[in-house]
Amino acid sequence: MALRKDPHPEEAAKQPSRRTHSADPAEAGRVCVGVVTGPQGVRGAVRIKSFTEVPVDVAGYGPLEDETGRRQFDLHLCGLAKGVVVARLPGIEDRDQAEALRGLRLYIPRSALPQPEAEEYYHADLIGLEAVLEDGTRVGHVRAIYDFGAGDTLELARDGAPPVLVPFTRAVVPIVAPAEGRLVLDPPPGLLGDDKP
């Protein structure tokens, strides 16, 4: 989870902060909470990049599913290693079996996640939202969310124009309405790259 920051600390102090929880979107009703990045050792353990705020929480929501929803996995945590969670999955006994799971995305039902507090959002709830200006003009939709170290940034896919990165601050994104399928932008001049000279 990343704290949503405003560009100037004095402005941030005046406005409530927004937070996002790192969880990639899946089809409706499911959220990706991790991905197997490869084997760990020779006895079947796997390395998992966790998308949860606290990495070990990837195993705290009950059985995880693969992308199809047909296979379920109970993770047994072994520890942490260089930014990943090390875990064992039932039936995976050697390095070759663990290697075969590389790239496996692990999902939970959206309903298993706690409700976010005010001004907090799961990435899964933001990705796909329509981005509009205050007058209702469509800009595009949220394609991805990044954190380059200064707070969350939204990548907006646009029709007939290159994608654009927008800081996820209250000043630039004053209204976030997932239930309505949209968010409202108030971009400073030049942010969208379509200002005329």
pLDDT at 30: 83
Q: What would the pLDDT profile of 124-150 be if each residue is shown by its tens digit?
A: 889 899 999 999 999 999 999 887 777
pLDDT score at 26: 42
Domain residue ranges of the chain, discontinuous segments joined by +: 24-111, 127-197
Assess whether the region 24-111 and the region 127-197 belong to the same CATH fold: no
CA dist 49 and 107 (Å) reads: 13
Which pTM does this prediction carry? 0.64
Q: Which helix (H) or strand (E) holds 123?
A: helix 123-126
pLDDT score at 113: 80
Which positions ≥6 away from 188 have C-beta within 8 Å? 172
What residues in the chain have per-residue pLDDT under 50? Answer: 1-17, 23-27, 196-197
Task: Determine whether domain 127-197 maps to CATH 3.40.50.10140.
Answer: no
Answer for the pair 119, 3: CB distance below 8 angstroms, yes or no. no
On the 0-12 / 13-18 / 19+ scale of CB atoms within 10 A, 9 is: exposed
Phi, psi of 100 (to 5 degrees): -65, -20
Would you state the CATH architecture of domain 24-111?
Beta Barrel (2.40)
In this prediction, residue 28 carries a pLDDT of 54
Secondary structure of residue 99 in the 3-state scheme: helix
